[in-house]
Amino acid sequence: MESDNPARRADRDRLPPEAVELYGRITRHEPLAPEDGPVLARLRERGLVAVDADLPDIPIALDPQEAARRQLDADLREMVARAARMAAIPEDADELSVHFERAKWRSGRGSEFLTEPGLVNARIEHAISQAQGELLTAQPGGPRSRELLAIAMDRDSRALERGVSVRTLYRDSVRDDEATREWARVMTGKGAQFRTLIGPFQRCIIVDRRTAFISDHIVNSVPSHAAWHVLDRAAVAYMAEGFDQEWRRAEIWHGDPRVSDVAAGARTTRLQREILRDTAAGIEQRITAQRLGIGLRTLSKEIGKLRELWQVSTLAELTYRWAMSAERLIDDE
């Protein structure tokens, strides 16, 4: 649909040529034809002609200057009324916004689906930079790279300096990752809290129990970095309660290595032993990675370390060396 701009509207409001021609005929007292009816009605509407009830076939031409003045007066009055209505619009909006903002504070504004990694990271960074009371993070995906940990350290340190409580829940497998252990030790010294959980849980970031970021469970065939930015207060409160329940079940961690590994003089980590147990049992690597909360790439990297440790080249040789080693006797329970 084309916009109704002022220039086009002005052209439309002008009298058409046939109306001007008919007005001239009326001034010359020329007879009218039946087909002149619609144009005559237009002239009467503009106050340019009048019709005597006793002589309806002989319209009377009126002064166009006087008609123009009457039209201008009417338009000016309409403009004044419209200006008054326009002035009231922001006042009404301000008054209604008070109620809307209160409702938005109570219930939030719904959710937004984010697909671009840059947008997801920017939105998370902004939300955490505005945190005032609490930051809850659940990371079930296994160890993160040193680059990502460095970014998180800077961001979370600023939050801690503002007095924000920072709690992070990890999968138990991160206890075997040196970079994550170092990260947890440093951040614990700054006041952050960490716990680990053996069982699976959902990924989320919750800020001040007002806004949250969660993985996608709705849209099919989307990249792994896609996320939902949840703003509904009831939904975020529900997520926070779920986080608290998982937190109570989890084990406190300060970044220290496993006591069992140190005591037993183990050369393998618990994560590596879990991988070897599944491999010896014939379990698919995809299922093992899912159970341990790590990616297939991470699993392959750990197998590579184990091959180097026992100086073998095939998975079958690795499984045999594991079955014959003292590492198999370590009780990780």
Q: For 17-33, what is each residue's pLDDT tens digit?
A: 998 998 888 888 888 88
Q: Are 192 and 167 in contact (CB under 8 A)?
A: yes
pLDDT at 261: 53
Distance in angstroms (rounded) separating the CA atoms of residues 254 and 246: 18
What are the structure tokens assigned to 120, written together? Answer: 């997801």
- Say how far apart CA 91 and CA 85 lie, in whole Å: 10
Q: Give the pLDDT of residue 11.
A: 57
Q: d(Cα 258, Cα 264) in Å, to the nearest integer? A: 10
* Amino acid 68: pLDDT: 86
Residue segments in the chain with a per-residue pLDDT below the cut of 70:
1-12, 99-109, 220-222, 258-265, 332-333
**Tokens 């006042």 identify what position?**
91
Compute φ and ψ for 2, nearest 5 degrees. -75, 145
Q: Is the dihedral of CA 121, 127, 130, 136 positive or negative?
A: negative
Task: Give the predicted TM-score (pTM) of the model.
Answer: 0.55
Contact 164, 133 (CB under 8 A): yes
Q: What span, in angstroms and rounded, lies between the C-alpha atoms of 61 and 24?
A: 9
Buried b (16+ CB within 10 A) or exposed e, 202-237: eebbbbbbbbbbbebeeeeeeeeebbbbbbbbebbe
d(Cα 131, Cα 125) in Å, to the nearest integer? 10
